[in-house]
Amino acid sequence: MYLITVFGNLLLILAVSSDSHLHTPMYFFLANLSFVDICFTSTTVPKMLWNIQTQSKVITYEGCLSQMFFFILFAGLDFFLLTVMAYDRFVAICHPLHYMVTMNPWLCGLMVLVSWLSVVSLFYCTSLGVYLSSAVTQSSHASAVASVMYTVVTPMLNPFIYSLRNKDIKRALMRFSGIAVRKGTIVLG
């Protein structure tokens, strides 16, 4: 699942960056979401896989702090990027004639930048609240399943969800892989 997550998101980033038809705000945000999903998953899954392989659950204090920092950073960034993507679709649907003026490259870059430093400031506020509050006891199996769902499954499915029914992404992937599509037939390039 980890390899599918990394390769699926990398493939989406490469398709968007290599095809000039996809240099639009929607795909810019989608490529950023794919990058963040790779980082988010890579924060915890390699250590988890190592723990499973070695049957050891040991982590240093510094390793735990850095892992938590990056985990919360990329999780928050995921939320902000999804919000920005929702705003992009809102403008495209509700104000289609003003879309290109409203969603200009400067604003798109600014929204991604604001998504980044916001996460850093929110990280410190929320993490202090979490660590200073009392822990609620819960089943370790249930929390492990929930952790896998949002750290592995969701980032793995994002490239498929956002690209499977998208003809532009399919064409870009075909061009990227060297397969040409001509009027319903596939020709190897």
Spatial contact of 93 and 69, defined as CB atoms under 8 Å apart: no
List pLDDT tens digits, range 38-65. Answer: 999 999 889 888 888 998 888 888 988 9
- In which band, very low, low, confident or very high, does the pLDDT at 180 lie, cut at 50, 70 and 90? low
The number of beta carbons lying within 10 Å of the beta carbon of residue 36 is 27
Q: Does the pLDDT at position 29 exceed 80? A: yes
DSSP 8-class letter at 139: -
Amino acid at 122: L
Backbone angles phi and psi of 181, in degrees to 5: -110, 125
Instruction: State how many domains the chain has.
Output: 1
With bands split at pLDDT 50, 70 and 90, how would you rate the model's confidence at 125? low
Domain that holds residue 54: 2-188
The predicted-structure confidence for 68-106, as pLDDT tens digits, reads as follows 889 888 988 888 898 898 899 999 999 999 888 888 889
CATH number for the domain harbouring residue 37: 1.20.1070.10
Q: What is the mean pLDDT of residues 7-35?
A: 89
**Separation between Cα atoms, residue 7 and residue 106, nearest integer Å:** 29
Average pLDDT of every residue of the chain:
78
